[in-house]
Amino acid sequence: MGRDTVTSPRRTSALFPDLHKRRARRRARHAHHRASGTLLLALLTDEANAVKANDFKTCDKSGFCRRGRALSSRAKEAGSSWRSPYSVDSSSISISPEQAAATALVKSALYPDINFELDVRVHDDGVVRVRMDEKDGLRKRYDEAASWALVSEPAISKDVQWVAGKKDLKATYGDVSVVVGYAPLTVTLLRNGKQQIVLNGEGLLHMEHFRTQAAKEEEDVKADGDEAQTVVEVENPRAWFEGAEEDAFWEEKFNTWTDSKPKGPESFSIDITFPNHGTVYGIPQHATHLALPSTTGEEPTFTDPYRLYNADVFEYLASSTMSLYGSIPFMQAHSAQSTVGVFNAVASETWIDLFHPSDKSTNTHWISESGIIDIFLLPGPTPADIFAQYTRLTGTAPLPAQWSLGYHQCRWNYVSSDDIRSVQRRFDEEDLPVDVFWLDIEYADEHKYFMWDEKLFPDPVEMTNDVAALGRHMVVIVDPHLKRSSNYPVYQEASERELLAMPPSGEGEYEGWCWSGSSSWIDFFNPASWDWWKGLFKFDNKGEGWSWTQSTDAIHIWNDMNEPAIFNGPEISMPRDNIHYGGWEHRDVHNINGMLFHNLSSQAVKERTTPNKRPFVLTRSFYAGSQRFGAMWTGDNLGTWDHMTVGLQMVLANGISGMTFSGSDVGGFFGNPEPDMLVRWYQLGAFNPFFRAHAHLDTKRREPYLLDEPYKGMIKDILRLRYTMMPLWYTTFWEASRTGMPILRLTRLIRPQYAMFPKDTAGFSMDDQFYVGSTLLVKPVTQKDVTETTVYLAEDQVYYDYFTNQPYHGSSKGKTFTIPVELSTIPIYIRGGTILPLRERPRRSAPLMAYDPFTLRVALDKSGYSASGELYLDDGEGYSYEQGDYVWRQFTAEKHGKKGLKLSSTAVGNSRGGAHEKELEQRGVRVEKVVVLGVGVKPKSVKVEGESEELVWAFEAGKGKEPGVLTIKDPRVLVTRDWKIVVEA
C-alpha cells in the first residue's frame, strides 16, 4: 500500500458510532487485519472487557526465557555437582595504575574458542560497575543502553586499588570489599566481610555467543553398498548446561507472527543473589505489592517471572508479573542491617525470577534477549544512600512547573473548543480548583498530531488563551506514530529526511497500524531527528519547515503509545527484527524506545520559548533515567477497588526507582465507579505526586461538578486540600530535584514505610500507608464500606491528626492504632518535630496563589519543644532559580527559657535576592497564621522578637494530660525575612 494513498477512515461519532469502543476491542482486531475494510469490521465487534492474555507472551512462549529457565532447572536438579563453565583467565588481568579499573579475559569451558571480556571498576561514590561482553565476536552486541540511562559517565575512583591474587581479584574501601573469583567467575560485594550481593553464585551465568547457522551435525556411515547408510547422532557435550536441542535459535513464532532472528541466539542470563537480604523492591512496572512476591521456589505467589518489556496492556490485571508500559531494571534488597541495589543496564526484553531460600535471603535470575552484561552494584548501606547512588547514575527528576502539581482534568475526549470552555465554566461555578485541561487524540484531524480538527476546534489559540486567562494550562496528546498521508507535513518531512524506523530489510519505512490508520514511526535513535522534532514545536515558522504555529506556551504535551504500541504488530508492538539507526534491531532497544520520544518532546517544549520555560510532558512508556524528562502515569487502569489499591503500590515502586513524578488515573480509565469509590480515589490521588482524573470515552462523564451531594462537596474539600498543601508539594519536589546537598536526604516525594524506618521489620512489606516528604503520614482507604482502619507508627514520636490536632503517641517497638473513618475521612497525620507550610485561601488555580500569605503548622516533637521544616519558592515556571532567584527558608521551633518556645525563620542556600524575591518583598507576602501543636502550658505572652507589641493569640488546652494548641494570628512577619517569635510561658 502506497504511503500517499492509504488513509484510515476518520474516527468520529457521527461516522462510526461504535468506533470509539474500548481499546481492548480494537487492538486485538488490529493485530489480525491489515486491510482497512476488514479492520473497521473488526473494530465494531463487541467483546467483554478484560486483558487479552493471549496477545502477550509468557515465559513458556518466549524462546530465550524458556532456555534461561531450563538452565536454572538443570542446575537445581544437579544440586551441589553443578558448576559454572565460566572462568577468568588470570594471566590476562590488566589493572589500571591510575584508577580503580581492571579488565580480564573470560573463558567458557563450553566454547573454548570464544572469548569474553570482563571490565570491573569502582566509582568515586563506591558503586561497582561490572561489564562483560563478547570479544572479537562475529557481530557487535548492543552496548549503548547505559549511555541513554546515565546522566553522565561515572567518575572512577583514583583512591581504590585492585589487587590480583592467586584465586581472586579484590578491591577494598572502607568497610566494603569487592571480590572477583576466578574459577568459576563470581563477583561478590561484601560489607564488613558479610556478603551483600553475589553475581553467578548459583552458576547461572550464560552469554550466548554469536554464531553461524549450521546444519545439524550428522555422521554418515556407509554399510555394504552405496545405498545402505546408517545415521549416527553425535552426542552434544554441552547438553548438561545448554540443553540437548536448539530452542528458537534462528526463528520464533508467536500467534500469527514470525520473528526472523537473523543474528541467531544472543541472550544472556545471570543469577544475582542477596544472601543476607530477605525483602526486595523495584523492577517496575508491575501491578503487584511493593515488596516483590516470589515467582519460583516453594509455594510461589506467581508462576511466571517478572517481565520487563514495555507493552500496551489495556485493562491490565491488578495482581500480575505481566509487563506493563515501562521498565526500570533496578532492584533494591533490604534487611534491618543494610540496603543494597542492583541496576542492570539492559534495553532488551528481560525476565526475572525471584525466590527466597530463607526468610533472610533472596535469589534472583535475570534473563535478557540481547545486549551486554552491564550491572551496577550499589553498596548502600541505607535506603537514603541507595537513592542517592542511583540518582547520581541516572539523574533526578527536575523541578517541575508549579502549576503541574495542581489538579488535572482529563477525558478521552473533550470534543470541541466549546466543550473545554464549558468544563472550565462549570469548575468555576462550583468553586472547584483545577490547573490543567487535557485533550486526547480526537483534537487532531484524522489523528494527524499537531493538526487541529478545524470543525471541532476552530479557534485553538483563542480557546487556550481563555484557559490561560485564569492561570491554567492545556495538555495535548502527541503520539509517536505518523499518519502516512501526503497532506500531513510532519510525516512528509520525516519521510523525506529518512527519519523513520525501517522494516527488517533495513530499507524504506516500516508501516503499521495505530490510531492514525496506516502509520510510520519516527526513529529517535537517529540524531538527525532531534533538532527536526524540536523545530516542530516552534510557534513562529521561519521557513525552515513546518511548525505548530497554532499553539501557545500554555499548551504542554502528553506522550502516549510510545512503547511503541502498534495495533497489528506482535504483542501490539513493533516487530523485533525491525531496524533502527545504526543497524540495531528493535529487540536491542525496545525498552528505551519510549524514553527517547519523551526526552525529545521535553526538550522541544522547553526550548520553544526564549527564555526557556519548564516543560510538562507526560509519558506512558519509560526506562531508567526517564525521570529527567517529566511525569508518568500507570496507564489504562480499571475503576475497581483492586486497581485503586495496586495503583498506590505501583506509584511507590516507581518512586523508589527514580520516577518520582507519578500517579494513577483517578477513578480508573475504564468503567463507571460509584460515587463512594470516586471519593476514596480522589483522597488517594490528592496525595500522589501527579494528580489527574481520566476516563475512557465509553464511560459516563464524571467531572466532580456532576456528582450529587454529599459526594461533590467531599471532592471539593479534597481538591482544596491539595491546593492548601501546594507549598509542601513544591518544597518536596525541590528537595527531590537537588543533587550534591551537604547533608544526604531522602530524595523521594512519597516514601514507603521501609525507607522512612529501615530497621523496623514490621514496615518492610507495608505498602498501604506512606509519607509525603518526612512531614505527613497518609493512610488512604482503598476498600469499600470501611468504617475503621489501622495506622502504624514505627517510632517513639508523637503524630497529630491533621484535621482534629489529636495527638497519637508511637513506640520504638512500633504501635498500631485503630481509627474510625467515614467516607469524608482521610487519615492524615503530621509527624512530630516537623513544620508544615500551607496556603489556606481558596483559589481557582495554583498560579493565582503566588502572592497569598502562609500558615505554618508547627508539630512539636515528643519533648514539646522542637520542630523544623522548610519552604521553597520561586517564579514557578522559569529557570531563574538556577541563578539563585529563589526564596528558601528554614523554620525551627526550639526551647526558650524553662517552658517557653522560640519560632524562627532563616535563609537556606545561595539566594541572591533576585527578581522573584524582590516581588514577594514588595507585595508583602507574609505568614498570616502560626498553629503550634503540642504546647505543654498556656503561654504568658507571644511577641515578635525586637517588638514590644503583643501578638493576637489563642490557646486551646488539650484533653486530660495531653498538650494544647497555640494559634498565633497574623504575626505580620514576611516570608522573605529572618524573624523570631518568642513564646513566653
Q: Where in the sequence numbering do the catalytic residues fall?
A: 560, 563, 636
Q: How far apart are alpha carbons 348 and 344 in whole angstroms?
A: 11
Give the DSSP per-residue string, 612-628: -----EEESSB-TTGGG
Per the DSSP assignment, residues forming a β-bridge with 133 are: 117
Residue 616, judged by CB atoms within 10 A of its CB (0-12, 13-18, 19+), counts as buried
423-to-313, 430, 529, 780 alpha-carbon distances in Å = 30, 11, 37, 28
Residue 836's identity, in one-letter code, is: L
User: What angle (nearest 5°) sits at the alpha carbon of residue 627, between those of residues 625 and 628?
Assistant: 80
DSSP 325: S
Q: How far apart are alpha carbons 279 and 281 in whole angstroms?
A: 7
Helix (H), strand (E) at residue 132:
strand 128-135
Q: At what angle do helices 489-496 and 528-535 cross, to 10 degrees?
A: 160
Peptide bond preceding 599 in cis form (omega within 30 of 0) = no
122-to-110, 114, 128, 143, 769 alpha-carbon distances in Å = 30, 27, 5, 19, 37
The residues, any chain, with a CB within 8 Å of residue 453's CB and separated by 6 or more, are 442, 443, 444, 445
Helices assigned H by DSSP within 403-504: 417-429, 460-468, 489-496
DSSP 885: -
Residue 54, judged by CB atoms within 10 A of its CB (0-12, 13-18, 19+), counts as exposed
Taking alpha carbons only, the member of 51, 28, 37 closest to residue 640 is 51
Residue 711's identity, in one-letter code, is: Y
Q: How far apart are alpha carbons 977 and 926 in whole angstroms?
A: 9
CB 342 within 8 A of CB 624: no
C-alpha cell at 491: 510525516
Pairing of strands 555-559, 473-477: parallel
CB 314 within 8 A of CB 51: yes
Q: How far is CA 150 from the centre of its chain?
A: 15
C-alpha cell at 902: 522560640
Which conformational region is residue 456 in: left (phi greater than 0), alpha (psi within -120 to 50 degrees), or beta? Answer: alpha
The residues, any chain, with a CB within 8 Å of residue 146's CB and separated by 6 or more, are 345, 374
Pairing of strands 662-663, 631-633: parallel
